[in-house]
Structures are given as C-alpha cells and as structure tokens.
Amino acid sequence: MLSLVRTHPSQPGSGPLTPGSRAGLGAALALLVIGCAVEVADGREVHYLPLFSAAPLLVALAGSWRLVLGLGAAATLLGVCFAFAEPTPSLATATGLGTVAVVTGIAAALASVRQRQADRLVELSKLATVAQQAVLRPLGPQVGTLAVAGRYISSTATAEIGGDLYEAIDTPYGVRMLIGDVRGKGLDAVRLASIVLGSYRHVAYERADLRAIVADLDRAVARNVGDEDFVTAALVEERGGTLTIVNCGHPPPLLLRRGAVIPLEPPAPAPPLGFMPEVRPRVERLEPGDRLLLFTDGLGEARRDGEFFPTADRAWRLLGHGTVGDGLASLETALVEWVHGQLDDDIALVLMEYAGPRTDPAVAVPSWEVGATES
C-alpha cells in the first residue's frame, strides 16, 4: 500500500538552492575574490593558487555536485588566467592548477554522496509519515455527535511514530474511542500498536459489550507478544449521553465539566492487555458541554527539574475553550514549554466534547443498564 503513495526523490542537485547552499556559495565566491585580490597585490608571480581549491570544498558542505563543479570550473579558469599572466610558467603553478581540479572532483563526489543520503532521509521521512497515517488515522473533527480531535507528540524529532495509539469510531452501539500505550519502543512497539488498532477497528463494530472488545484485544496482544510485553488501554463509549469506560492499566481519563477537572478512576484496578484483564465498567451521565481528555502516560511523566507537568491544574484553562483541536494545540504548546522541548516519552492525546444527546432512536442502550450487572 505504501508504494501507491511513494514519491520519487528529485535527482541530486536539482531544485532551488537551499539556505545552506546559498551560504556556502557566498562564502566560496568571497574566498575566490579575496584570493584574486591577494594574487594581484602580490605581483605577477603565482603563489596562492592552491588556496582556490578551498572554494569547491566550501560549496560541497551544503550544495549540489553540479554547483561544486561549476564553482570548481570558475576557480580553475581564474587559475589559468593567472598562469598565463605569469612571466615564466612554473611547475608550482601547474601543480596548483592540478590541485584545484583534483579537489573539485573530490568535492563533487562528496556532494553527490551527501545529496543522495539527504534524499534518502527525505524519502524515509515521507514513508514514516504515510505509515503513521496508516496506523494512526486522523481523527475528527466530528465522530458521530461528538467533536473529537487527536494528537501525537513524539519525544524524538526524527521519529514520527511509536507505540502510543488512539482511535475513534462511530458504531451501531455509539461512538467508541480507544487509547493505548505499548510497552517498549521501536519497530516492535509500532507493530504491536498496529495489531491492536487493526483488531479494534474490526471488533468495535461487532461487539455490543466493551468487555467483549477487551477480551478480543487481550487475545490479539497475547498471540503477538512475549511474556513481559503488554499494552495499557482505555476504551470509552458514548451512547445517548451515557459514558462508559473500561480501563486496562491505563491513566484514567479526565472529565472537564463547568470548570472542574474530574479523574474518572475505574471501579477496580485491572491489568493491561496481555494479562487477561477482568474489567469493571465505569458509567457516567454526560452533560452538554462536557469534555473528556484521554492521554497516555507520557503526559503524566513529563517533568521539569523533577516537577511534573500540572495536567489537572491546567486542563480546564488549556482545554476548556475553543474547539477541541484548539484545546489540544494549547496543551501541547504548554507542555513543550514546560519541559523545554525535552520529552522523555511519546504522548497520544484525544479530546472529545459532548454537545447533547443523540436523537437517533435506533441507538442501543448499554446492556448493563437493562439488567446486566458489572462483573
């Protein structure tokens, strides 16, 4: 699937000059001008010609191989002009011209290798972005009757995907959301996250009870991990103004209501997916305007000088105004400022807002509200 959206990198050296290329070219031209001025001031004897070879080397640091060859040719041409102006051509002058030509060739080769590596990094970055979008599909701005936004904050500037996961789906049983965190990092964490999300996207439409979804996800995790691997997760369902949460070892969601921030702790602790969790749902009635923040433990562990980010204290001020997307953007900005841009762990965030009850009479009522007891 990735090959369908793969873009082909431009040929090395093509395209407009980058700021680095322009800076290198400017420095190289200035060096040539200074070298010419010194040679002219020194008289008709050529003494400083080998210094001209530094010009293509400067361009090779950030410019294309074509630019290196062009500047090297200019440096060689200037050297030839000085050689012809010399009263008696010398071996040192010929050696200087050869040095400029050889260094130009070496610099062009280095620039070509550097450009190919840069193009490869750009290509890998594009593929990582596509992979992230395949694993973590964009959320919102509306899922069913809920306004929903999701955000992934990577702790590494060069990585755009990790083991944190989220999803929100409008199903026949209401809007269902999942947030989770895979133990570990790297490709194994990404693989397990994709397995959990793939399973969830299927069973969320098939199971009427969130506890059955947990059982399905637990089996999917157990089949694909080692003895010490697991996935913490929280599943949330909204049906007709009723909020149901099952929590498998995950940080409790925060309910934002009329200026208050309420952690929705589970009725009883449960282990993560992979350890056969027995979960008890927590049921809440929502009010119009309520917002719910789902997050992974990277948010709770973000700290500066040993002091943790005060999520609960700042949640309403950051998340309670504007759109849900604006709220997550404000939270990310405040968080990055708090840790001075140095996060220790990736963070997944989902923020939803409940506007009012669904008017569709076909939406089912949760089974535990019509006779089933919490287990």
Q: Give me the CATH number covering residue 244.
A: 3.60.40.10
Identify whether residues 145 and 278 lie together within a single domain: yes
- Evaluate if residue 72 carries a pLDDT over 50: yes
Alpha helical stretches, state H, the chain: 19-41, 54-60, 65-85, 91-135, 186-203, 210-222, 297-301, 311-319, 324-338
Alpha carbon distances (Å) from 39 to 31, 32, 78, 335, 357 = 12, 10, 11, 58, 84
Q: Is residue 86 part of a domain?
A: yes
Who's near 60: CB < 8 A, 6+ residues apart? Answer: 24, 68, 107, 108, 110, 111, 114
pLDDT in tens, 1-28: 333 333 333 444 445 667 777 787 888 8
Identify whether residues 269 and 185 lie together within a single domain: yes
Q: Is residue 296 part of a domain?
A: yes
Average pLDDT over residues 235-258: 97
pLDDT band at residue 369 using 50, 70 and 90 as cut-offs: very low
Identify whether residues 220 and 266 lie together within a single domain: yes
CA triplet 23, 25, 28: central angle to 5 degrees?
Answer: 110
Q: Is residue 205 part of a domain?
A: yes
- Evaluate if residue 328 carries a pLDDT over 80: yes
- What pLDDT, on a 0 to 100 scale, did the predictor assign at position 134? 65
Q: Is residue 107 part of a domain?
A: yes
- What's the gap between Cα 41 and its chain centre? 56
Identify whether residues 117 and 230 lie together within a single domain: no
Residue bearing the bigger pLDDT, 285 or 370: 285
pLDDT in tens, 345-367: 889 999 999 998 765 544 444 54
For residues 293 and 255, give the distance between their C-alpha atoms in angstroms, rounded to a whole number.
Answer: 7
- Evaluate if residue 373 carries a pLDDT over 70: no
- Evaluate if residue 160 carries a pLDDT over 60: no
- What pLDDT, on a 0 to 100 scale, did the predictor assign at position 12? 42
For residues 197 and 211, give the distance between their C-alpha atoms in angstroms, rounded to a whole number.
Answer: 16
Please report, rounded to a whole number, the percentage of residues in the chain having pLDDT higher than 90: 46
pLDDT band at residue 128 using 50, 70 and 90 as cut-offs: low
Quote the tokens at residue 83. Answer: 């050689």
The last residue of a domain, from among 111, 130, 149: 130
What letter represents residue 280's amino acid?
R
The last residue of a domain, from among 91, 110, 130: 130
With b for 16 or more beta-carbon neighbours within 10 A and e for fewer, the 15-45 pattern comes to eeeeeebebbbeebeebbeebbeebeeeeee
Q: What is the 3-state secondary structure (H, E, C) of 273-291?
A: ECCCCCCCCEEEECCCCCE
pLDDT in tens, 215-240: 999 999 999 877 678 999 999 999 99
Alpha carbon distances (Å) from 250 to 162, 181, 253, 287, 362 = 17, 8, 9, 24, 32
Q: Return the minimum-mean-pLDDT range out of 63-72, 267-276, 315-324.
A: 63-72
Identify whether residues 268 and 194 lie together within a single domain: yes
Rg (CA), the chain: 31
Average pLDDT over residues 188-215: 93
Q: Is residue 5 part of a domain?
A: no
The last residue of a domain, from among 88, 105, 130: 130
- What's the gap between Cα 126 and its chain centre? 11
Identify whether residues 235 and 355 lie together within a single domain: yes
Q: Is residue 217 part of a domain?
A: yes
Question: What is the chain's mean pLDDT, rounded?
Answer: 84
Q: Is residue 208 part of a domain?
A: yes
Domain of 359, in residue numbers: 136-369
Identify whether residues 119 and 173 lie together within a single domain: no
- What's the gap between Cα 48 and its chain centre? 50
- Evaluate if residue 335 carries a pLDDT over 70: yes
- Evaluate if residue 259 carries a pLDDT over 90: yes
Identify whether residues 112 and 147 lie together within a single domain: no
Alpha helical stretches, state H, 86-235: 91-135, 186-203, 210-222
* C-alpha closest to that of 149 among 328, 283, 9: 328
Q: How far apart are the first and last CA of the chain?
A: 42
- What pTM value is reported for the model? 0.69
Identify whether residues 34 and 180 lie together within a single domain: no
Identify whether residues 95 and 171 lie together within a single domain: no
Identify whether residues 168 and 30 lie together within a single domain: no
The count of domains in the chain is 2
Q: Is residue 10 part of a domain?
A: no
- Evaluate if residue 375 carries a pLDDT over 50: no
Identify whether residues 191 and 312 lie together within a single domain: yes
For residues 229 and 185, give the distance between their C-alpha atoms in angstroms, rounded to a whole number.
Answer: 11
